[in-house]
């Protein structure tokens, strides 16, 4: 985004996450099958891209409305987590149960993995009610962030449809999805496309490790309304491209406690930048600092504004 392209609309960031989750993060040492493992710390956190990202947006001081489906006690817990973080949940009731992710963090080995469940079931009537809520939110939205895959009963082209509706209103969009929802949403040309390296592989096939070659692949996804493409690479940083520039974003060296949600924090920073009309460089610097602040905390996408502000001066954007 060029500095001249500022927005004057109300700066409300709206996240749309049809299949959100709550995360149960379990810290343990030397996991092994077939024996009893003592968990030495356990925390709850929001999960599901836009929902945990909404908490980051709120922590950084910007209003955020989180839309999605929810059901059962996990759905109620998720809404409570969002409210506690300062975001505003507006969930459409669905059948089944909001999924729970179990994030296993092996502190002895410095490794982690996520186990996920898929239990939401959405009826045609619930889908219609959800679409009506999104349409209503667009009237006061300055950036629409679409995240994740679809639960049972929701068509894979839902993100793409919302991108088209937002574009008709002049609202910038971010797409951070996977599988068919990513492929169909990318074809609708969101303003920002932000897959991780595994999601990108679903979209383009082979993903080069070398940043310059990866930038060439990402550049092929620009145009027709897509102004920035960023691929997050876990602990190796990220690569971002526009028509005018390409950058490698090296990660900051900080102690890693839980990396879950770091990519969502980067998307949160881009959403803030879009809602405020910032130049890309400013948004990308905030993205790197936010990701670093998140990995230092035990919760998913948990960060502290003071850490982000402290880390910002350390961020480097390396032109490619």
pLDDT digits (tens, 9 = 90+) for 155-164: 999 999 999 9
Residue 198 has what pLDDT?
93
pLDDT digits (tens, 9 = 90+) for 100-137: 999 999 999 989 899 988 789 999 999 999 999 999 99
Mean pLDDT taken over the chain: 93
User: Which of 211, 208, 202 is CA-nearest to residue 251?
Assistant: 211
Residue 156 · residue 138 · CB < 8 Å:
no
Length of the chain: 320
Averaged pLDDT, 3-7: 38
Round to whole Å and give the CA distance between 228 and 86: 28
pLDDT digits (tens, 9 = 90+) for 293-305: 999 999 888 999 9
Class assignment of domain 13-18+46-92+122-319?
A: alpha beta
Residue 14 has what pLDDT?
98
What's the whole-model pTM score?
0.91
């Amino acid at each position: 985004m060029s500095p001249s392209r500022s927005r004057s609309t109300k700066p409300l960031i709206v996240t749309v996450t049809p299949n959100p989750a709550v995360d149960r993060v379990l810290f343990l040492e030397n996991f092994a099958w077939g024996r009893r493992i003592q968990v030495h710390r356990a925390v709850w956190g929001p999960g599901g891209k836009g929902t945990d990202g909404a908490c980051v947006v709120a922590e950084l001081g910007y209003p955020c409305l989180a839309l999605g489906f929810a059901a059962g006690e996990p759905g109620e817990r998720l809404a409570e987590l969002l409210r506690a973080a300062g975001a505003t949940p507006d969930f459409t009731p669905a059948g089944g149960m909001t999924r729970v992710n179990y994030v296993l963090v092996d502190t002895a080995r410095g490794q982690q993995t996520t186990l996920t469940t898929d239990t939401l079931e959405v009826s045609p009537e619930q889908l219609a009610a959800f679409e009506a809520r999104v349409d209503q939110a667009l009237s006061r939205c300055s950036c629409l962030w679409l995240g994740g895959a679809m639960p049972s009963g929701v068509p894979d082209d839902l993100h793409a449809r919302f991108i088209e509706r937002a574009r008709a209103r002049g609202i910038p969009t971010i797409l951070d999805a996977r599988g068919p929802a990513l492929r169909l949403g990318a074809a609708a040309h969101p303003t920002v496309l932000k897959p991780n390296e595994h999601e990108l592989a679903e979209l383009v096939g082979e993903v080069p490790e070398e940043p310059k070659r990866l930038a060439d692949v990402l550049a092929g996804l620009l145009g027709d309304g897509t102004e920035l493409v960023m691929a997050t690479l876990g602990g190796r940083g990220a690569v971002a491209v526009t028509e005018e520039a390409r950058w490698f974003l090296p990660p900051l060296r900080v102690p890693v406690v839980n990396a879950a949600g770091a990519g969502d924090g980067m998307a949160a920073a881009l959403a803030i930048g879009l809602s405020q009309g910032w130049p890309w460089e400013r948004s990308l610097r905030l993205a790197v600092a936010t990701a670093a602040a998140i990995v230092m905390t035990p919760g998913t996408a948990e960060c502290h504004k003071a850490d982000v502000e402290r880390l910002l001066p350390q961020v480097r954007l390396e032109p490619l």
